[in-house]
């Protein structure tokens, strides 16, 4: 409580505010001395003549006001800047309309700091707002793509004797591929919101903080959780169809066998003089085999196996026979369908918790 502001003033009233040793003399009470804080008592001389009338409104505390918005405020730093010390009580006012915030959810908007003397009090007249920083949003989960290790469709085998007509082996469909999302597909959790006010001193529990006016005190909002990522499991490629075989009496051409689909589909086998297809690779289909051409009757090239997620190609047509010609022949076969592609979504991250309004040595905050 400050010394009164008017009327007759006795030295006993100054002693009641600032203490001192009997017998008392006005010279004990120079501003900036051991009894009278200079920062809060600019009217009290620090040297020279001192009078009782200089002590109207004098107070045994470091008094200061925060009058504009600011972040990361340290009461110890503010008190020292106002001419006080850590063994002197503090009376701090936050003006109406002023917001004390924070630049990071890991830093309180306002704190006492440590090193205060035993029995010191901090009074806060909060006419504004003390607001912790919002927590940062969690990062989104990654989108991943996985190739199958096997399951490509088999290529169609080369046709039998071409004068039999009809169609022989088509390429087989590739196998589907599926799986479950992993941890990399999960969104990260949002960060916890920042603290509004921290009573930092726990080693000496005699530092009492009192909000004589509470004002607005709000912990920061928790950060939003990251979005889920998607795991894609690529389907296998279909096998290629065999090439058509042509037939003219005494002449025949044999179509090539189909290539295997990715991943690692089996090749088609040739008949007669045509070529086998190639086996599928890890991500790409194998080439179809070359035909056997014989005079006026020629075969078609085997169809290429499909790459991952792609159907195999149909075999090449013959240029004699095969349904459009009365002399017979075997039509080219179709490629196999692509295997189905599977997807699996990760989990979205959860929203972070709101920051605390008060933290630290909260038992000594009123």
Q: What is the DSSP string of 211-274?
A: EEE--EEEPPPPPPPPPPPEEEEPPPPPPPPPPPEEEETTEEEBPPPPPPPTTTPPPPPP-TTS
The band of 328, judged by pLDDT with boundaries at 50, 70 and 90, is low
Are 127 and 200 within one domain? yes
Distance separating alpha carbons of residues 58 and 16, to the nearest angstrom: 12
What per-residue confidence (pLDDT) applies to 323? 39
Residue 53 has pLDDT above 80, yes or no: yes
What does the alpha-carbon distance between residue 16 and residue 24 come to, in Å, rounded to a whole number? 11
Instruction: State the total domains in the chain.
Output: 3
The pLDDT value recorded for residue 251 is 81
What is the 8-class DSSP label of residue 18?
H
The confidence score (pLDDT) of residue 84 equals 85
356 in a structural domain? no
Does 98 fall in a domain? yes
Query: Are residue 250 and residue 343 in the same domain, yes or no?
Result: yes
Do the domain assignments include residue 357? no
Q: What is the mean pLDDT of the chain?
A: 91
Residues 261 and 274 grouped into a single domain: yes
- Domain range for 239: 142-187+228-351
310's tokens: 């792609």
pTM for the model stands at 0.71
206 band by pLDDT with thresholds 50, 70 and 90 = confident
**CA-atom Rg of the chain in angstroms:** 44
| DSSP for 121-164, written as a single string | EEEEEESSEEEPPPPPPPPPPPPEEE--SS-PPPPPPPPS-GGG
Residue pointed to by tokens 């590739």: 174
Q: Which of 7, 22, 121, 183 is nearest to 365 (CA)?
A: 121
For residue 346, which phi and psi values (nearest 5 degrees)?
A: -75, -175
Are 296 and 182 part of one and the same domain?
yes
The CA distance from 199 to 164, in Å, is 95
**What's the confidence (pLDDT) of residue 167?**
63
In this predicted structure, the answer to whether residue 315 has a pLDDT above a threshold of 60 is: yes
Same domain assignment for residues 21 and 107: no
Two structure tokens written together for 160: 């039998």
Question: Comparing 123-127, 244-248, 359-363, which segment has the lowest mean pLDDT?
Answer: 244-248
Percent of the chain with pLDDT over 90: 72
- pLDDT the model gives residue 175: 97
Q: How many percent of the chain have pLDDT more than 70?
A: 94
- CA 151 – CA 340 distance, rounded (Å): 11
Domain assignment present for residue 335? The answer is yes
Contact predicate 280/261, CB 8 Å = yes
How many whole angstroms separate alpha carbon 3 and alpha carbon 36?
Answer: 12
- The answer on 200 and 178 residing in a single domain is no
* pLDDT reported for residue 187: 98
Residue with tokens 């005190």: 217
Same domain, 206 and 310: no
Between 41-45, 209-213, 222-226, the lowest mean confidence (pLDDT) is in 41-45
150, 265: one domain:
yes
Quick: pLDDT tens for 59-97: 888 889 999 999 999 999 999 998 888 988 999 999 999
Q: Which helix (H) or strand (E) holds 14?
A: helix 11-18
What's the pLDDT at 169? 84
User: Looking at residue 320, what is its pLDDT?
Assistant: 59
CA distances (Å), 178 to each of 43, 186, 217, 334, 339, in order?
Answer: 82, 18, 51, 26, 10
- What is the SS3 assignment for 11? helix
Quick check: 322 pLDDT over 70?
no
Residue-level pLDDT at 326: 46
Does a structural domain hold residue 343?
A: yes
Residue 248 has pLDDT above 60, yes or no: yes
Average pLDDT over residues 198-216: 89
CB-count burial class (<10 Å; 0-12, 13-18, 19+) for 250: exposed
Cα–Cα distance for residue pair 334/290, rounded to 1 Å:
16
Q: Indicate whether 155 and 304 sit together in one domain.
A: yes
pLDDT classification of 260: cutoffs 50, 70, 90: very high
173 and 195 fall within a common domain? no
The predicted pLDDT at position 263 comes to 97
Give 164's pLDDT tier (boundaries 50, 70, 90).
low
Q: Are residues 179 and 261 in the same domain?
A: yes
Higher-confidence residue of 167 and 365: namely: 365
Q: What is the pLDDT averaged over residues 319-338?
A: 70
Average pLDDT over residues 189-209: 91
Residue 305 near residue 240 (C-beta atoms within 8 A): yes
Q: Please indicate, yes or no, if residue 40 is contained in any of the structural domains.
A: yes
Range in 210-224, 241-255, 273-287, 304-318 with the lowest mean pLDDT: 241-255
Rounded distance between C-alpha atoms, residue 165 and residue 152, angstroms: 29
Q: Is 244 a domain residue?
A: yes
| 96 part of a folded domain | yes
Q: How far apart are CA 45 and CA 59, in angstroms?
A: 14
Same domain, 169 and 209: no
């Amino acid at each position: 409580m400050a010394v009164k502001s008017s009327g007759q003033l006795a030295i006993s009233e100054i002693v009641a505010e600032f203490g001192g040793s009997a017998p008392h003399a006005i010279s004990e009470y120079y501003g900036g001395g051991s009894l009278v804080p200079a920062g809060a008592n600019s009217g009290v001389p620090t040297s020279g003549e001192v009078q009782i009338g200089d002590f109207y409104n004098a107070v045994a505390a470091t008094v200061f006001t925060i009058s504009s918005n600011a972040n990361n405020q340290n009461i110890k730093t503010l008190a020292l800047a106002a001419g006080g010390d850590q063994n002197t009580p503090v009376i701090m006012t936050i003006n109406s309309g002023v917001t004390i915030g924070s630049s990071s959810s890991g830093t309180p908007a306002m704190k006492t700091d440590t090193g205060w003397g035993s029995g010191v009090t901090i009074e806060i007249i909060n006419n504004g707002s003390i607001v912790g920083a919002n927590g940062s949003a969690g990062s989104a989960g990654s989108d991943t793509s996985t190739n199958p290790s096997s399951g490509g469709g088999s290529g169609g085998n080369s046709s039998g004797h071409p004068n039999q007509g009809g169609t022989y082996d088509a390429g087989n469909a590739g196998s589907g591929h599926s799986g479950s999302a992993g941890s990399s597909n999960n969104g990260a959790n949002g960060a916890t919101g920042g603290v509004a006010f921290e009573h930092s001193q726990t080693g000496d529990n005699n530092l009492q903080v009192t909000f004589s006016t509470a004002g607005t005190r709000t912990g920061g909002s928790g950060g939003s959780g990251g979005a889920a990522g998607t795991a894609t499991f690529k389907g296998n490629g279909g096998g290629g169809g065999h090439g058509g075989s042509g037939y003219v009496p005494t002449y025949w051409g044999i179509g090539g066998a189909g290539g295997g689909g990715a991943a690692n589909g089996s090749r088609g086998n040739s008949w007669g003089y045509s070529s086998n297809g190639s086996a599928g690779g890890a991500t790409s289909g194998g080439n179809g085999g070359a035909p056997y051409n014989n005079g006026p009757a020629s075969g078609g090239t085997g169809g290429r196996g499909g790459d991952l997620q792609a159907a195999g190609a149909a075999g090449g047509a013959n240029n004699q026979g095969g349904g459009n010609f009365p002399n017979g022949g075997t039509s080219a076969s179709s490629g196999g369908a692509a295997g189905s592609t599977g997807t699996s979504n990760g989990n979205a991250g959860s929203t972070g918790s709101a920051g605390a309004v008060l933290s630290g040595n909260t038992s000594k905050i009123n």
